[in-house]
Structure 1
Amino acid sequence: MYGKILLAVDGSNHSLRAAKEAITIAGNNPNSQITIVYVADHDDAKNDVLHSGSTAELDFQRRKKLQPVEEAIAAGNIKHRVKILHGTPGPAIVEYANSESFDILVIGSRGLNSLQEMVLGSVSHKVVKRANCPVLIVK
């Protein structure tokens, strides 16, 4: 059913739970492929560059965050690839998802309460509102 699956991750445990759901979805279609997308937030990236010392070290740290997700997907024998974007996570994920015409987007949620979500906003909420494809939010 779903062939092109976009999995938005940030290196958290919520991302790993989302990855497990994406693996389940991909398991229903032998031709499916999961694209793992990680967005390097502009605000965090500036700070990361100052503290890492080199862009190579920064790239290594970003890939390290994705390692548990990549390992879980590889263990399921699912075709996958990684895409690292730069920008604000919500809009960057939506723009990429819409431009590549994914069948479904899977994203984790931190489970903010309504006040936190109203004040802080939520990447998953922003994605649901603007993505053209179905979105699965995993708690």
Structure 2
Amino acid sequence: MSEFFLALVSAALINNLVLHQGLAIDPLLRSDTDPDRRQVHALGLATLVSLVVAVGLGQLIYHLALLPLQLEYLRLFVFLALCVLPIKPLLAVLTRLLPTLPFDGLLPLMVGNLALLGLSLQASEGSYGILQTLSWSLGGGLG
């Protein structure tokens, strides 16, 4: 359990995906106009949930299906599909659950989010377990 908290704090504060690795730098934040603060919060929440879902499912498929069948070379295609396909349903669920946040218009930004694919590939290359991978994705989204 201490590995979970260590990975969570490390991903959120020390090895931040944006600051340290430059993975999820968003064009919304780099635009000339001042972005709506609620839209930035909606983007952060959507990224957090998609990191947990995509990376968690990706690692489960990688460890339970690809490794036993010796199909490790297909991990990029599997991770890419898991990073793109659940985004629209995820945004629809978040819109229903939190109607005060503007999740509409975030689809292009979420589809091009490199943090999902980058963290999935990093977790598969390392010898991380499922719990540590989930803590990395949760910490990355919180950071």
More strand by share: 1
TM-score by length of 2: 0.29
